[in-house]
Structure 1
Amino acid sequence: MTLLALNNIEVVYDSVFLAVKGVSIEVPEGGLVALLGANGAGKSTILKSISGLLKPERGAVSHGQITFEGTDILALDPPERVRRGLVHVLEGRRVFEHLTPEENLLAATSMHGDRSEVAGLVEQMFQLFPRLAERNKSKAGYLSGGEQQMLAIGRALMTKPKLILLDEPSLGLAPFLVDEIFDTIRRINAEQNTAVLLVEQNAVAALDVAQSAYLIEQGRIVMSGTADVLKSNPDIQQAYLGGGSGVDYHAVKHYRRRKRWLA
C-alpha cells in the first residue's frame, strides 16, 4: 500500500523560479526509497515540500498533490504533518548544541503525554545509538559529526514516525561512519517498519540500502526503478557509481546523458 504519493508537483520560489517540475514519487508502507541527484537538482526542495518547510524560504507547491495515507496534506502546517507520522531530518544535522543528547531527544516529545512512554523511547534511542548513551553528559555541540547525525535521527524517531525523510545523512562523515549510519537506517526500516525517503549524493551507499530509487536532474525525474535496475544501468554507473574510465562526468551528467534520458 502507498504511504506517501507526490503527483505531478511543481515548486516555485518567490513566485518566479520553478525549482521542481512535474515530479511524481511513491513511497510504500515500510519502504526504503532513495532520491539521487547532483547538487542543486531539487532533492532537498522535494523533501521540504513534503514536510511543509518551504514557506520560510519563500517557496510553495504551485501545482500537483501530495498525499500521506491517502489524505492531501498540502494545507497542513509542519507540526500537524509530524503528528500524522511524517518527520524530516534536515541536512547539516541541526542539533541543539547547548543541550545534552537526552535533552535533545526530550525536545521532540511534546506530542507524547505519557512520561513512561517518553522514558521508554529515550531508552530505545540509547540502545539504537550506544554512542549517545556514552556521551550523554556532554553538550551536543561537542559531539562528533557522526554522533550529531545519530542524535538528529534519534530525535526524529522520538516522534514515532511512519515515514522519516533523511536529507544527506552521510554529508561530511568519514567512510566508516557512513557505513554505520546506513546500517542504522537499514535497521530502522527493517526492525521498526518505518518507511524512509532518503536523499543522497552518495549513490553507492544509498542504492545498497534502498529498495527503489528515483534520479532527479534539474528538477525533473529522469529515471526510476528498483535499486538493482538503477545500479546496473550503464549511465548511472558512469555518472554516479564511478564506473568506466576517462569519463568527463560533468558532461555525462549535464549534457549527453540527460538528453538520452529525456528523449
Structure 2
Amino acid sequence: MSLLTLNNIEVVYDSVFLAVKGISIEVPEGGLVALLGANGAGKSSVLKAISGLLRSERGAVSRGQATFRHENLLALDPPERVRRGLVHVLEGRRVFEHLSPAENLLAATTMHRDRTRVTRRLDEMLTLFPRLAERANAKAGYLSGGEQQMLAIARALMTEPKLILLDEPSLGLAPFLVDEIFDVIRRINAEQGVAVLLVEQNAVAALDLVQSAYLIEQGRVVMSGSAEALRANPDIQEAYLAGHNQVDYHAVKHYRRRKRWLA
C-alpha cells in the first residue's frame, strides 16, 4: 500500500530554473526507499517539495501531484504536513546549538498536548540513542557530528511520524558512525514501522539499507528498481559503487551514458 506518491513533479526556483523535471516516485507503508545521485541532481529539491520547504528558497512545485496517505499533500502548509505524520531531517543536522539534547527534543513537541505522552516519547528517544542520554547536560553545539545527527533524527521522531525524510545523514561522518546511524534507521523502520525516504550519495551504504531506490540525474529519474537490481547493474557499479566510496563525484556528475541508463 502506497504511503507517499509523487506523480510527474516539477520544481522551479525563481520561476526560471527547473531543478526537478517530472519525477514520479512511490514510498510504500513501512518502506525503505533511497534517492541516489550526485550533487546537484535534484534529490534535496524532491525532499523539500514533499515537506513544503521550497518557499524559503524561492522554489515551488510548478507541476504534478503529490499524495500522502491518499491526501493532496501540496494543499497543506509545512506544519500541517508534520501533523499528518511527515517529517524532514535536513542536510547538515541544524540542531539548536545553545540547547541541551533534551531541550532540542522537547522543541519538536509543540503539537502534542499530552505532556505524559511527551515525557514517554522523550524517554524512548534517550533509550534509542544512549549517546544523547550520556551527553544530557551538554550544549548541542558541543556534540560530535555523529551525535548531532542522532539528535536531529531523534528530534524528528519526537513528532511520531509515519514517514521520515533523511537528507544525507552520513555527510561528514566517519565510517563507523555511518554504520551506527544506518543501524538506527534500520531499527526505526523495523521496530516502529516508520517509512524512510533517504537521500544519500553513499550508494554502497544506502543500497545495503533500503528495499528499493531511484537514481536521479539532472532532475530526472534515470533508473529505478529494487536495491538488489540496482546493485547488480553494471552502470551503477561503475559510476557509484566502484572502490566502495572512493568515487569521484565530480566525474559522476558528468557521467554520460544516457542510452545505457535508459535501456
TM-score class normalised by the smaller sequence = over 0.9
CA change 1:251–1:91 in 2 (3 A) is closer
Structure 2 equivalent of residue 56 of structure 1: 56
Q: How many angstroms apart in 2 are the aligned matches of 1:112 and 1:126? A: 18
Q: CA deviation at 1:257?
A: 2.2
Structure 1 equivalent of residue 23 of structure 2: 23
Q: How many angstroms apart in 1 are the aligned matches of 2:249 and 2:147? A: 33
- Aligned residue type for 1:178: V
- Aligned residue type for 1:149: Q
- Aligned residue type for 2:119: A
CA change 1:115–1:106 in 2 (3 A) is same
Unaligned ranges ≥5, structure 1: none
Q: How many angstroms apart in 1 are the aligned matches of 2:100 and 2:69? A: 35
Q: How many angstroms apart in 1 are the aligned matches of 2:29 and 2:194? A: 8
1:46 aligns with 2:46: yes
Structure 1 equivalent of residue 231 of structure 2: 231
SS at match of 1:112: coil
Q: CA deviation at 1:259?
A: 3.8
CA deviations 1:144-180 (Å, max 9, x no partner) are 0000000000000000000000000000000000000
Q: How many angstroms apart in 2 are the aligned matches of 1:252 and 1:110? A: 42
1:163 aligns with 2:163: yes
Normalising by structure 2, we get a TM-score of 0.96
Structure 1 equivalent of residue 92 of structure 2: 92
Normalising by structure 1, we get a TM-score of 0.96
Structure 1 equivalent of residue 178 of structure 2: 178
Q: CA deviation at 1:49?
A: 0.1
Q: How many angstroms apart in 1 are the aligned matches of 2:56 and 2:211? A: 32
Structure 2 equivalent of residue 204 of structure 1: 204
Structure 1 equivalent of residue 124 of structure 2: 124
How many residue pairs align between the two structures?
261
Unaligned ranges ≥5, structure 2: none
- Aligned residue type for 2:32: L
Q: CA deviation at 1:204?
A: 0.4
Q: How many angstroms apart in 2 are the aligned matches of 1:253 and 1:77? A: 33
CA RMSD, Structure 1 to Structure 2 (Å): 1.6
CA deviations 1:46-105 (Å, max 9, x no partner) are 000000000010100000001000111102110000000000000000000000000000
Q: How many angstroms apart in 2 are the aligned matches of 1:119 and 1:249? A: 43
Structure 1 equivalent of residue 67 of structure 2: 67
- Aligned residue type for 1:157: L
Does the CA-based 8 Å contact 1:237-1:243 persist in structure 2? no
Q: CA deviation at 1:14?
A: 0.5
CA deviations 1:228-261 (Å, max 9, x no partner) are 00000010001000169xx997666534323422
Q: How many angstroms apart in 2 are the aligned matches of 1:57 and 1:107? A: 23
Q: How many angstroms apart in 1 are the aligned matches of 2:112 and 2:70? A: 24
Q: How many angstroms apart in 2 are the aligned matches of 1:201 and 1:10? A: 22
Does the CA-based 8 Å contact 1:12-1:62 persist in structure 2? yes
Q: How many angstroms apart in 1 are the aligned matches of 2:258 and 2:203? A: 17
- Aligned residue type for 1:45: S
